Amino acid sequence: MALHFTTSLYRTQQMSAKQWGITQLYNKFFEEPTSQLYKLHEALDRECNAAYGFTDSDDILAKLLELNLELAETEKQGQPIVGPTAPN
């Protein structure tokens, strides 16, 4: 999750330098494809999708709900829950 740390650190640095809150930062730069924040989140999305085996065409909310229901059932049965690992 080094990319998550990098994204978080960059976001914090930008908020501090601009004296903005997180909402103002995201409203200004999140949808701007040339911004560093946009690029970092694109890379983070790709990494997360790979870790969960999702594709760009997946309905991510539906897939997360399905995964959540599966994990709830696994937990209900007393089985250990193991999260995804970073892709190679």
Q: Is the pLDDT of residue 29 over 80?
A: yes
Cα separation, 14 vs 16, in Å, equals 5
Cβ neighbours around 84 below 10 Å, total? 11
Cα separation, 61 vs 72, in Å, equals 16
87 falls in which pLDDT band (50, 70, 90)? low
**pLDDT digit string, tens, across residues 43-82:** 988 988 888 889 989 999 999 999 899 989 999 999 988 8
pLDDT of amino acid 30 = 78
pLDDT of amino acid 55 = 92
Q: Is the pLDDT of residue 1 over 70?
A: no
Contacts of 31 (CB under 8 A, 6+ apart): 38
Share of the chain above pLDDT 90, in %: 44
